[in-house]
Amino acid sequence: MTIKPTPSHTRTATGVRRRRRGPMAALACAVLTAVTLGTAVPAMAAPAARTAAAVDHTDDRLPDLDPQALRQALSSAPDRTTGVLARVSGPDGHWTGTFGAADLATGAPVPVDGRFRLGSVTKTFIATVVLQLAAEDRLDLDQPVQRYLPNVLPDSYPPIPVRTLLNFTSSLPELTPDDLPTTPDGIVEHRFDDHPLAELVAKAVRHERPFGDPGSKQVYGATGYYVAAMLVESLTGHSYQQEITTRILRPLHLRDTTAPELDTTIPGPHSHGYIAVPQPAGGTRLVDITEQNPGAGGMISTTADLDRFLTDLFRGRLLPPSQQAELFDVPDVPYLGGTDHDPGHGRAYYSAGLLRATLPDGVTVWGKTGSTFGYTDGMFATRDLRRRLAYSFNPTTGGGNDLALVNRILSAAFAP
C-alpha cells in the first residue's frame, strides 16, 4: 500500500498568514509524504503465492463479514493511533465502526460520518481528470509531457509519455529529506508553508532519475502526479482542485468531499490529527496538527463519499471504456526494488491511480491509500464491487506508515 504523511499544528485559521497561490497550487502534503517514507516503498497485506493477476473477480468466494474481526482490527493499535474509522459496503453486507477519540482534549468519540484528509488518495482523483481530458482529445496519453508542458523538465530528459505519469513508470526523481522538513518539530513549524507545484518539480528534478527508459520499470512516487496536476492546470486554465470539483465532486454529489486550495481547516465533524514531538527532557508531546496547508494531500472526504466515488468510478460513470481500461491496466514491467513479498511479487502492481493486490485468500482488490501528517486513509474494492472498504485513522507517528494496521483492517474486511 502507499501510506504517506504531511505537515500541521494547532493554530486557528484566522491566525495563519495566507499567501495567494499562483495557478500551480501547492502539493506539499504529498511531497512530505514521499520524503518521510524515503523512497515511498508501498506495502500490502501478505500476498498469495500466486500472481496478483490470477484472481480479478470474486464469484461467491468472499467470506462472510466478521464484525468481531473488524472491531479487533480497528482497536489493535491504541498506542499508535488516537482514532480509527471504517466502513464496509456491498451486496455481501454492510458494517461501520469506530475506535478511540476524535479530540483528546474533550474525549469526544470518533464520528461515524467524520471527515479526514486524503493524502495520496488524491492521486486517484487527479488520474481520473487526466483520463477525462484524454477522452476529450485534449491530450494524448502516448505523447510526451514536454509537448504540453515545455520548459518544466530538464532538456536532458528523454520524452516522458503522459501515461507514465499516471502508472508510476515515468522515471522522474523524487524529493529527498534535504528538500523539505521531515522531523516532527520541523513539520509542526512549517505545516502552513506553501510549495507551488512548479517549485516541487524543480526541486525533484535536481536529483538523479531512478532508471533510464520511461515505461521500463515502476516505482511509487509523487513527482509524476505533481506534473500531472500541472498538466491539468495548463490544459484547462483552472486549478486541478477546481477541475476535480467540477468534473467529479459535483456530478457525483459528493457533498462532504472538498478539494481546498487555501483553507487550512477541516469543515464538519472530524477527528483531530496529532504528531508526537520529542521533548528536550525526554519523551514526546502530542501536538494537534489538524490544521495544515492543504497541498497535494489536502482533499477532504468521508468513508461514505469515498465508497460512492469508487463505486461510480468502477462502474464507468466518470470515464468512457477506453479510458476506463487504464484504471485496471497494470504495466508488465519490474517494480524497482521489488521482491517476492510485495503485492506484485517483484513486478508492477499500480495502474493509472489505483493499486492491485491479491490477499492471502486469493481475492484481488483494487484501490488506493494515502496519508498526510495526522491522517491515514484508504479505499479498496473487489473489481465487481461486491465488497468495498473505506477507512481512516489518526497515527501519532508522523506519517501513517503503519502498514501492520492497514493490513489488519484490509484482512478483516476481505479475508477475516
Residue 266: all three cell numbers together:
477541516
Q: How far apart are CA 391 and CA 331, in angstroms?
A: 27
Which of 205, 148, 131 lies closest to 171, judged by CA?
Answer: 205
Instruction: Give buried/exposed letters for 255-272 (b at 16+ CB in 10 A, else e).
Output: ebbbbbbbbbbbeeebbb
Q: How far apart are CA 55 and CA 58, in angstroms?
A: 8
- Strands 284-288 and 95-100, bridge-based pairing: unpaired
CB 119 within 8 A of CB 372: yes
CB 187 within 8 A of CB 228: no
Which of 174, 184, 241 lies closest to 39, judged by CA?
Answer: 174
Q: How far apart are CA 257 and CA 255, in angstroms?
A: 6
Which of 367, 409, 374 lies closest to 85, judged by CA?
Answer: 409
- For residue 156, indicate whether it is catalytic: no
Determine which one of 8, 89, 120, 170 is catalytic: 120
- Residue 369, SS3? strand
CB 134 within 8 A of CB 141: yes
CB 223 within 8 A of CB 43: no
User: 223-236 and 28-36 are packed helices; what angle lies between their axes, rounded to 10 degrees?
Assistant: 170
What residues are labeled active site? 120
